[in-house]
Amino acid sequence: MSGSPERVSLVRVLPLAGPRLLTALIAVGLARAVLPVAGAVLIGTGVAALLRGEDVVVPLVVLGAVLFAEHLANAAWSPVQWRAERAIDGALRDEIIELTQRPRGIAHLDDPAVTEDVGLATGGPRGFSIGQGAVGTAWLACRFAGAVAATAVLAWFSWYIALAVLGAMLAMHALLRRQWLGISAEMEARKPRLRPAAYWAKVLAGKGAAKEVRLFGLTEWLLRRFRAAAEDGMSGVWRVRGRVLRQQPVIVLLTAGGVFAALSWLGLHQLDAGRTIVFLQATWAVLAIGSMGDEAFYIAHALPGLRAVHRLRTRLDVLEEHRPEHTAIRFSGVWFAYPGGAPVLRGLSLDVRPGETLALVGFNGAGKTTLVRLLAGWYEPDRGEVHSPRISVLLQDFARFDLPLRDNVGFGEDGVDPALARAGAAGLPDGELSGGQWQRVALARALFAVERGAEVLVLDEPTAHQDVDAELALYDRIRGAGVTTLLISHRFSTVRRADRIAVLADGVISELGTHDELVARGGQYARMFALQAEAFR
Ligand X SMILES: Nc1ncnc2c1ncn2[C@@H]1O[C@H](COP(=O)(O)OP(=O)(O)OP(=O)(O)O)[C@@H](O)[C@H]1O
Buried b (16+ CB within 10 A) or exposed e, 483-510: bbbbbbbbbbebbbbbebbbbbbebbbe
Binding segment toward ligand X, per CB under 6 A, in 8-16, 263-271, 367-375, 434-442: 367-375
Residue 15: DSSP 8-state? G
Partners of residue 394 on adjacent β-strands: 459
Binding mask 10-49 for ligand X (x = CB under 6 A): ----------------------------------------
Helices 19-51 and 57-101, packing angle to 10 deg: 160
Would you count residue 491 as binding ligand X (CB under 6 A)?
Answer: no
Binding segment toward ligand X, per CB under 6 A, in 39-47, 210-218, 259-267, 363-371: 363-371
234-263: contacts with ligand X (CB under 6 A): none
For residues 140 and 315, is the Cβ–Cβ distance under 8 A?
A: no
Please give the Cα distance from 104 to 123 (Å, whole number).
Answer: 26
Q: DSSP 3-state assignment of 383?
A: strand
Taking CB under 6 A as the criterion, the residue among 9, 369, 437, 510 binding ligand X is: 369
Count of residues touching ligand X (by CB under 6 A): 11
CB of 512 to ligand X, least distance (A): 17
Residue 537: DSSP 8-state? -
Taking CB under 6 A as the criterion, the residue among 29, 133, 305, 367 binding ligand X is: 367
CB of 375 to ligand X, least distance (A): 12
CB of 449 to ligand X, least distance (A): 21
DSSP for 386-420, written as a single string? EE---EEEE-TT----SS-HHHHHHTT-S--HHHH
Cα 208-209-211 angle, rounded to 5 deg: 110
Q: Count how many Cα atoms sit within 13 Å of the Cα of residue 248 in the half-sphere of its side chain.
A: 6
The smaller minimum CB distance to ligand X, of residues 70 and 471, is found at: 471
Would you count residue 338 as binding ligand X (CB under 6 A)?
Answer: yes
CB of 339 to ligand X, least distance (A): 7
Q: Among 1, 24, 27, 22, which Cα is nearest to 11's?
A: 22
Helices 130-157 and 4-12, packing angle to 10 deg: 110
For residues 196 and 228, is the Cβ–Cβ distance under 8 A?
A: no
For residues 129 and 306, is the Cβ–Cβ distance under 8 A?
A: no
The smaller minimum CB distance to ligand X, of residues 5 and 339, is found at: 339
For residues 22 and 15, is the Cβ–Cβ distance under 8 A?
A: yes
Alpha helices in 125-218 (DSSP H): 130-157, 159-205, 210-215
Would you count residue 368 as binding ligand X (CB under 6 A)?
Answer: yes
Please give the Cα distance from 90 to 88 (Å, whole number).
Answer: 5
Binding segment toward ligand X, per CB under 6 A, in 56-64, 252-260, 314-322, 365-373: 365-373
Q: DSSP 3-state assignment of 183?
A: helix
Binding segment toward ligand X, per CB under 6 A, in 171-179, 314-322, 366-374, 528-536: 366-374
CB of 364 to ligand X, least distance (A): 4
The smaller minimum CB distance to ligand X, of residues 368 and 440, is found at: 368
Would you count residue 370 as binding ligand X (CB under 6 A)?
Answer: yes
Binding segment toward ligand X, per CB under 6 A, in 166-174, 327-335, 361-369, 429-437: 361-369
The smaller minimum CB distance to ligand X, of residues 72 and 505, is found at: 505
Q: Give the amino acid at 457.
A: L
Taking CB under 6 A as the criterion, the residue among 341, 412, 427, 431 binding ligand X is: 341
Would you count residue 344 as binding ligand X (CB under 6 A)?
Answer: yes
Please give the Cα distance from 60 to 46 (Å, whole number).
Answer: 7
CB of 338 to ligand X, least distance (A): 3
Would you count residue 528 as binding ligand X (CB under 6 A)?
Answer: no
Residue count of the chain: 537
Binding mask 76-115 for ligand X (x = CB under 6 A): ----------------------------------------
CB of 509 to ligand X, least distance (A): 13
Distances 460 to 7, 14, 73, 528 between C-alpha atoms, Å: 52, 49, 66, 19
Q: Among 407, 361, 394, which Cα is nearest to 465's?
A: 394
Please give the Cα distance from 407 to 427 (Å, whole number).
Answer: 14
The smaller minimum CB distance to ligand X, of residues 159 and 363, is found at: 363
CB of 360 to ligand X, least distance (A): 9
Please give the Cα distance from 423 to 448 (Å, whole number).
Answer: 10
The smaller minimum CB distance to ligand X, of residues 42 and 360, is found at: 360
Other beta carbons less than 10 A from residue 400's beta carbon: 13
Taking CB under 6 A as the criterion, the residue among 3, 192, 217, 365 binding ligand X is: 365
Binding segment toward ligand X, per CB under 6 A, in 46-54, 359-367, 381-389, 424-432: 359-367
CB of 489 to ligand X, least distance (A): 10
CB of 435 to ligand X, least distance (A): 16
The smaller minimum CB distance to ligand X, of residues 332 and 369, is found at: 369
Would you count residue 362 as binding ligand X (CB under 6 A)?
Answer: yes
Distances 22 to 135, 383, 502 between C-alpha atoms, Å: 9, 47, 59
Binding mask 281-320 for ligand X (x = CB under 6 A): ----------------------------------------
The smaller minimum CB distance to ligand X, of residues 99 and 486, is found at: 486
The smaller minimum CB distance to ligand X, of residues 72 and 512, is found at: 512
Radius of gyration of the chain (CA): 37
Which residues sit at the interface with ligand X, rule CB under 6 A? 338, 341, 344, 362, 364-370
